[in-house]
Chains A and B, each alone.
Chain A
């Protein structure tokens, strides 16, 4: 494979993507016709994409590799990706698409904190399901959407199959839970008490305690900002990006004006 060629491995800033259909600079129109005649394929135009999309699917894999029947999102890959997004000047915003059944607490919280502290606008969209730790990640974004039919399950953390023998184990679990409750209550409109109430609700889940929120219920409670789909999420992100650009310009203007003013005062 090309990526292991010595040519690729040389230290270039922008590595060449092994895509023969990609047009060379200044020859945008030529290769598409070439592809049609040579391969019978239509080359799709490649728009400049300034939105980074992160899909969080299946289980969020943390410190342990999960068996292969699980679909997983690997946190050790997502975290440097988010650092790259923060540093890449071409990327203006991030769209986080969630369809997850939860996963490792630490990994989920780490991803949520990383997304939350990005300086670029972030919008989350919950499709299908954003359960357990997925709730935390969706709250970590600047603005959140949920599809009308999507669900979110809120339930306590537990160790199944293990008897809580000493009180410290219970306290430890309680502490872990507290981290989740704190994060959600400080990054959404749900209060600590309300979230705890949802967590320990009886009568909704067959043999378990917790709450299932469907679409607008999550919005009514205040966990999610709005019910909506893909176009709404992208439009919102665009709007936020434009606002940030305007804000940045104003900020720079005031900065320059401010430094000039300071200098005057100093003299």
Chain B
């Protein structure tokens, strides 16, 4: 990867050592949504992988959107 930017690489890459996000893939009928777990019951959309192109224009699927996670206990 070559970065073409006037910002020095040490500033761009600052904090990359300590940053270890927990990613989680949520499958749905047309693909999956990759989320970053931000707390016990919330996550942030990181990436979308869908076979339907309209999903990429859908406001609910935009990266950065916060979502709430619901946990179910199976008996």
- Which chain A residues have a beta carbon within 8 Å of chain B's beta carbons? 1-4, 8-11, 13-15, 17-18, 52, 59, 62-64, 66-70, 74, 76-77, 80-81, 83-85, 87-88, 101-106, 108, 131-133, 153, 155, 157, 159-161, 173, 176, 180, 205, 208, 210
Contact = CB atoms under 8 A, between A and B. Distances in A.
21 contacts: A9-B28, A9-B29, A59-B3, A59-B12, A67-B15, A67-B19, A69-B15, A81-B57, A84-B57, A88-B54, A101-B6, A101-B7, A102-B6, A103-B4, A103-B5, A105-B4, A132-B6, A133-B4, A155-B6, A157-B4, A161-B9
Nearest to A132: B4
A105 B55 CA distance: 27
A24 B9 CA distance: 50
Contacts of B59: 17
B1 A104 contact: yes
Nearest to B69: A1
A205 B7 CA distance: 13
B5 A131 contact: yes
Contacts of B6: 101-102, 131-132, 153, 155, 205, 208, 210
Contacts, number: 118
B37 to A, nearest CB: 14
Interface in B28-64: 28-30, 47-48, 50, 53-63
Given A102-B5, A131-B5, A155-B6, A15 B13 contact: no
A180 B4 contact: yes
Contacts of B16: 66-67
